[in-house]
Chains A and B, each alone.
Chain A
Amino acid sequence: MATAAATPKVNHIGLPILDYRGGKSTLCAGCGHNAISERIIDAFFEMGVEPERVMKMSGIGCSSKSPAYFMSRAHSFNGVHGRMPAISTGAILANHTMTTIGVSGDGDTASIGMGQFVHLLRRNLPMIYIIENNGVYGLTKGQFSATADLGSRLKTGVVNDLPPIDTCALAIQLGATFVGRSFSGDKKQLLSMLKAAIAHKGTVLLDVISPCVTFNDHEGSTKSYKFMQENDEPINEIGFVASFDEIEVDYDSGEIYEVEMHDGSNLRLRKLLEDYDPTDKANAVRTLMESTDNDEILTGVFYINTEKPTFIDLLNVVDEPLATLPESVTRPPKSALDALMAALK
């Protein structure tokens, strides 16, 4: 019996998910990073972002290879170790009409890249900054990174005796305007968070716990699949309604924290932690600090601010990309030079 070929599902700009795929991953089978790449593909597909209008940025490390594994139709820049923020800053200044997603790791961000990372946060540079956080250096075979938890143990038995850097607390304090943590194994939460991130205008910092199956997935690790499955404590359940979706109202507003996003979409955070207000900066930082003391791994959207101007707003640049402004705009006329010369005589 003849069957009609199934029409591939397309998104609201008419593209099939195939157009969002990347190259074949060369990371280890089971690596959390691959799951994150999959969610990025889903999120951009579902949000209907044209892949040619996306810039993919990264630094150096296992995480930083992953832009090769999603959205091949987007330009990508795999820079030098720890310097993704600077390259992204330049690229976004050159063309702020693009959607920019950066993928970094815990070493790339919290050690070698810390200097640039904190300044990116201060500037509220409009981009999505993902930390694929596994607590170890993979490419150099398993040394602790600066996000490894106190008391966490390497395969070799070495115990980490330095406190972790909480990139989320840091990001909230320093000026990022959308800060959340997720787990590569939590498809639903991560996807909703990524879709909201695409809708946000400003720096989005997503710390995604992403177990390293080769060097940090054993008993004693606090970044293993097992540990996360047992200790993941979501503070809110994330619902995202895109601007082009039909809005359904079927919830009790008392339990939901609703955020109107810049592009007209809606972020609905169902409160799991009593009275948690994701616009309260100080409370967000305190909650994170207390969770570290209590050995909890909180996930969810910790902080959001849709009002704060981005770096592009502050610089007050023209709407068109600076990169392609014509010479008639960028080179002042002869009369301008003549006037300058006259003043110097």
Chain B
Amino acid sequence: MATADLALGQPEGALSTRQRVTNDFSINVATVNGSGSQSANSVLLKSIFAMGVPVSGKNLFPSNIAGQPTWYIIRASSEGYVARKHDSEILVALNPETALADVLALPAGGVVIHEENLKLDQARGDLFYYPVPFDKITATICPEAKLRKLVKNMVYVGVVARMLAIDLGVVESCLLRQFAKKQKVFDLNFGAVKAGFDYAQENLTKQDPFFIERMNATAGKIIIDGNAACGMGAVFAGVTVVAWYPITPSTSVVEATTDLLKKLRVTPEGKATFAVVQAEDELAAIGTVLGAGWAGARSMTSTSGPGISLMAEFSGLGYYAEIPGVIFDIQRTGPSTGMPTRTQQSDLLSVAFLSHGDTKHVILLPGSMKDCFELSQAAFDLAERMQTPVFVLSDLDLGMNNWMSEPFDYPAKPLDRGKVLTAEDLERLGGFARYRDVDGDAIGWRTLPGTRHSKAAYFTRGSGHNDAAAYTENPGEYQAVMDRLALKFEKARKLVPAPVMVRDAGSKIGFLAFGSTDCALTESLDQIRKRYGVEADYMRVRAWPFTQAIHDFVAAHERIYVVEQNRDAQLASLLKLDLPAGQVVKLRSILHYNGLPVDAESITEEFVHREGL
């Protein structure tokens, strides 16, 4: 069963109006997209981060270029929770169209910072209102009319900083970093922040209980989005060929990759040690990836659901002809076009078996920024080691939102380029059979085009072939290759990234989840313990095929809750295919699939209901 509707701002119980609330609340900046609020939101987020307070930012934006409602939610959490919070306590109401609905969605005791002339204070009597003449302030500090729309956003940063007691000096240094080397832009923007700050100082009396206070919980940490982390991983994995087709929300993976390649991978002579191709469609993107992988390059593409559907035929070729390649799928809400700017984890099943015939693919499932960086590298190693396409399933929430993370570690191991024979090897061996399992690992040796030996060449095809890569319609020869492919997939269980045992308290109840569900689930498990005294264990799955540790985890618990962000319980379905029949009955699902990132309260509520607590 699904959890209840998780529309933004469902009341969650009145806040105490007298008790001071420090470093534990959410700010919802409601604006219209295309108004340039992104830099302002980023400065506000980074200012809280620079105050040493754990913070996360989630952009809930429309599939549109300009003029539609958009919400940016900044969550401060002294305990370091970074999932979307069910409610936001503070609203910055800059979009007249949604202002009333946004105000009505606030919990009692919430705060509204709004354009003076919106007259929102008549809507409810249980909130704190801070009217601000944003347009007037902006006009006085920004003579250029066409810049005002952008500058206005920085005015609210100043107002919020003042009302929450964020140091103005901290905001200033964050702005300086944001607009490094652009003094005029900085001056204009900081002028706006200062004007907002001064206005609030002179005209608004603090009545609400929300404060940001300095902590020391972010020292040494970084803020990054998952797509940038994946791109960084690819570059440090030595990617050389990138082919892609623009699609939300995966585009920034390739943008990040390309930026880094241009910065880090150009020779002193000015030549590129990489090639990036914007393909004509996703079919061409994956075709190029496989062509490059076949010829020996480390190649990748990045896409989302609709692109994955288009890549189906080629994925089967990659599997059957045993060609390496890395495919990032930054999942969005499906089916079909779905909601392109909303998040989901609903491509798992289609990617697992992508293409016709008996096909199955190795999937890596990053659940943190570090995972995005490290599993992205692991994907290239695995693809070449196993000679198969490897899929990295991230999602919009991980990919496009800002996350706090420990800094990334430099890769400890050299690249694994897999089993490739050189001309010297061939001279020694006298020849080879491309698809023969000579080492007992179910992986054949391959040669690269251009290898100067008369026995180097083989014929790559998606049609029936025997272990010497020759065309066959012989039942035995065909089946032998298929059986070896199945064995190769079995052996991948030991090669893929191990799951993470997040909590191991020896409970009878276990949780399994993957990807961006992690942050909400860890918070939910704390809620369950604090509110009900119930301890539960949790293992975070990081790859398919499943490792033995996942089987053991299920075997060691009486009940297993599988939490995931799709309607059809896709992770649970894969588990059911994999687990012994006696274990399958232990599985139950907690599902969330309305397009918003899952929040802890929703998981807790559903768990409590199921357990009858």
Contact = CB atoms under 8 A, between A and B. Distances in A.
Interface of A: 19, 50-53, 55, 67-68, 72-80, 83, 85-95, 97-98, 115-116, 119, 315-319, 321-325, 327, 329-332, 334, 336-338, 340-341, 344-345
Nearest to A324: B296
Contacts of A80: 287, 313-314, 317, 462
Interface in B495-532: none
Interface string B408-430: 10110011000000000000000
A79 B460 CA distance: 8
B231 to A, nearest CB: 11
A98 B222 contact: no
A95 B298 CA distance: 12
B240 interface: yes
Nearest to B461: A78
A337 B408 contact: yes
Given A93-B275, A93-B277, A323 B295 contact: yes
Contacts of A52: 450-454, 456-457
Contacts of B447: 75
Given A321-B295, A345-B407, 15 more contacts: A53-B452, A73-B456, A76-B460, A77-B461, A79-B290, A80-B317, A85-B284, A91-B292, A94-B291, A95-B297, A119-B280, A318-B272, A330-B238, A334-B410, A340-B260
Nearest to B298: A330
Interface residues of B, number: 72
Contact of B452 (A50, A83, A317, A336): A50
Given A83-B287, A315-B272, A95 B454 contact: no
B506 to A, nearest CB: 37
Given A119-B280, A332-B265, A88 B275 contact: no
A91 B294 contact: yes
Contact of A325 (B237, B240, B276, B448): B240
Contacts of B458: 75-76
A116 to B, nearest CB: 6
A49 to B, nearest CB: 12
A330 B449 contact: no
B238 A331 contact: yes
Contacts of A95: 295-297, 448-450
A93 B285 CA distance: 13
A322 B271 CA distance: 11
Contact of B287 (A86, A322, A324, A345): A86
For A94, A95, A317, A341, the residue with the greatest tally of chain B CB atoms inside 10 Å of its CB is A94
Contact of B236 (A55, A78, A115, A331): A331
A90 B290 contact: yes
A345 B222 contact: yes
B241 interface: yes
Contacts of B275: 93, 315, 317, 322
Contacts of A324: 296, 448
24 contacts: A50-B452, A52-B451, A53-B452, A55-B295, A75-B460, A77-B291, A80-B314, A90-B291, A90-B293, A90-B295, A94-B291, A94-B294, A94-B296, A95-B297, A116-B283, A316-B270, A318-B273, A323-B240, A324-B448, A325-B240, A327-B415, A341-B222, A345-B220, A345-B407
Interface in B560-583: none
A89 B294 contact: no
Contacts of B407: 341, 344-345
Interface in B426-470: 447-454, 456-463
Given A80-B317, A90-B297, A316-B270, A327 B457 contact: no
A74 B457 contact: yes
Contacts of A337: 232, 236, 408, 410
A323 B284 contact: no
A94 B232 contact: no
Nearest to B237: A331
Given A95-B450, A337-B236, A115 B281 contact: yes
Contact of A68 (B223, B451, B471): B471
A94 B448 CA distance: 10
Nearest to B465: A78
A97 B413 CA distance: 30
Given A85-B284, A337-B410, A316 B415 contact: no
B211 interface: no
Interface string B328-353: 00000000000000000000000000
A80 B283 CA distance: 11
Contacts of B270: 316
B43 interface: no
A325 B273 contact: yes
Contacts of A327: 238, 414-415
A337 B122 CA distance: 53
Interface in B181-239: 220-224, 232, 235-239
Contacts of A119: 279-280, 284
A83 B314 contact: yes
Contacts of A340: 232, 260
Interface string B301-336: 000000000000110010000000000000000000
B61 interface: no
A90 B314 contact: no
A84 to B, nearest CB: 9
Query: Shortest 7 CB-CB distances between A and B: which pairs?
Result: A90-B291, A86-B287, A323-B296, A330-B238, A90-B292, A94-B297, A94-B295
B539 interface: no
B271 A319 contact: yes
A89 B284 contact: yes
Contact of B240 (A98, A330, A344): A330
A115 B280 CA distance: 8
Nearest to A314: B275
Contacts of B287: 79-80, 83, 85-87, 89-90, 116
Contacts of A78: 459-463
A322 B297 contact: yes
Given A89-B277, A316-B272, A94 B463 contact: no
Contact of A76 (B454, B459, B463): B459
Nearest to A57: B291
Contacts of B19: none
A340 B410 CA distance: 11
Given A74-B457, A86-B284, A79 B451 contact: no
Contacts of B461: 77-78
B113 to A, nearest CB: 29
A75 to B, nearest CB: 4
